[in-house]
Amino acid sequence: MARLHADLIPALLDFIASPHADEAAFNALALRLFAHQSQHNTAYARFCRARGRTPATVRHWHEIPAVPVNAFKELTLSCVPVAQCARVFTTSGTTREVKGQHFHPDLDVWNASMRRHFADCVGPLPMRMGILFPDETEMPHSSLAHYLQLALQEHGLSGSRHAWNAEGVDSLAVLALVREAQATGEPLALLGATYSFVHLMDTLAPNPLDLRLPPGSWLLDTGGFKGRSREVPIDAFYDQLSATFGVSRAHCLNMYGMTELSTQCYDAGNASVPSFKRTPHWMRTRAVDPLTGLPVPAGQPGILVHTDLANFNSVTTLLTEDVGLVSEGGFQLLGRAEGAQAKGCSLAVEDFVQAARA
């Protein structure tokens, strides 16, 4: 395992730092990580054997067995013993639900991945920031809390801060940030969970105030509503966001991320939806038939499978429950694979859908 840090980690950091990567370089590193994970990640090794996929038989990164995201709830997917992992991120969910766990020996690669793609896709930077989410000390196991804190540390101008209190989004703190921006004319960025923005707008709605931000401001939401706020059709959400803060929809960014990944994807605004999410050169996304794992014909929706090379300690390749359209350099997210109308009067359908959603 010591070889890991001597060898694989620097290679990975170099890869992320390089300007781009071609198919051959991506494939080589993906296969190297597969060899590593199918040797040291015990649960994954069993899974790969059952599928008849081993480093001896896998020649292309497409052939790396994709792990369904739910497996993170039931299994320990880590090459390094979890006791030696500095950080564990857990999926959100109520206390009653089983949470998925993603173990990280350290966060060097995770942070490098975040920094690089954030800087490439989000901006302008640096910027005064308001974070509509708890900070890292309050939610040490939230990858989103860590992500937002990192954004603030790396790119936040003085005066950037969290606007959150025990009740949730601190609307007075947001108001203060907005008033400062309006007074100075300096742009402001607000970043947070999608549902935080909905809560904020709902709180402010009864007393309409002028919250329009100076030119150059942008907004970044992520994660969807997750049943924590009312569900808003996505077009209406960006209309309202744009109207409330006076930021054009082209500057309302959305980040696609998952606890089970170590890399995020970004669109270039949401002037029209669904937006196109860009993957960085160390992550590739395919659309597959979930049963066979085979790619769907070009231009057809399929279930998204991500191969994220920054996921060096767990598994690189994940079968999500997201339906999407894939094209060069990224994908369009069409929704969750849960829209199926419950059929029949058998318990299974509804119950199973709920379990899978948890």
Query: Given the rule CB under 8 A, which residues bind other proteins?
Result: 43, 46-47, 50-51, 67-68, 70-71, 74-75, 289-293, 301-303, 319, 321, 323, 337-353, 356
**Coil, strand or helix: which one is 261?**
coil
For residue 67, the cross-strand partners are 318
Task: Give the span between the Cα atoms of 92 and 229, in whole angstroms.
Answer: 14
Nearer to other proteins, 207 or 292 (CB): 292
CB contact at 8 A, 174 and 130: yes
Nearer to other proteins, 216 or 293 (CB): 293
DSSP string, 104-146: ES-SHHHHHHHHHHHHHHS-SSSBEEEEES--TTT-TT-HHHH
Q: Which helix (H) or strand (E) holds 182?
A: helix 171-184
Residues whose CB is less than 8 angstroms from the CB of residue 8 and which lie 6 or more positions away in sequence, other chains included: 32, 33, 36, 312
Nearer to other proteins, 131 or 337 (CB): 337
Surface-to-core class of residue 35, CB atoms within 10 Å of its CB (0-12 exposed, 13-18 middle, 19+ buried): middle
Minimum Å gap between C-beta 102 and other proteins is: 17
Nearer to other proteins, 14 or 289 (CB): 289
Nearer to other proteins, 52 or 185 (CB): 52
Task: Give the span between the Cα atoms of 358 and 94, in whole angstroms.
Answer: 8
Task: Give the span between the Cα atoms of 142 and 309, in whole angstroms.
Answer: 21
For residue 326, the cross-strand partners are 331
Minimum Å gap between C-beta 318 and other proteins is: 12
